[in-house]
Amino acid sequence: MTRRITISLPDDVAAYVERTQGNTSGFIAGILRRKMRADSLRARWAQLGYVVTDEDVERTRARLAALPPISDEQHARNLEWLRQFDDEGTAAA
């Protein structure tokens, strides 16, 4: 079942979605599903005593951004490994 809702996006964001995705609803649904899974994972970690804050995430992103880029081959191997955790069987690039 689906529900129709209306959202407003900044012009640059709307242009990006239209240019690269075609199916705006599917694109936004995919983003929200990823957010839902991340929130669920954070909640589960918290139950186990591991609290992950937004600051933790930003600090880790900054640390990762400072690393040298990986090869296309390594990227492909990483995506293959991540697929085991994806409900839909496909990892986002």
User: Which residues constitute the domain of residue 53?
Assistant: 11-85
Position 24 in a domain: yes
Does 93 score more than 70 pLDDT? Answer: no
Kindly state whether residue 2 falls inside one of the protein's structural domains.
no
pLDDT tens for residues 46-92? 999 999 999 999 999 999 999 999 999 999 999 999 999 887 555 45
pLDDT at 88: 59
Q: Is residue 28 part of a domain?
A: yes
- Compute the C-alpha angle 68/62/42, nearest 5°: 120
Does any domain span residue 4?
A: no
36 assigned to some structural domain: yes
Report the distance separating Cα 52 and Cα 46, nearest Å. 8
The number of domains in the chain is 1
Residue 15 falls inside a structural domain: yes
Cα–Cα separations (whole angstroms), residue 52 to 32, 45, 48, 66, 67: 19, 8, 11, 21, 22
Cα-Cα-Cα-Cα dihedral sign, residues 23, 29, 31, 33: negative
Whether residue 3 is contained in a domain is answered as no
Q: For 23-33, what is the mean pLDDT?
A: 89
52 falls within a domain: yes
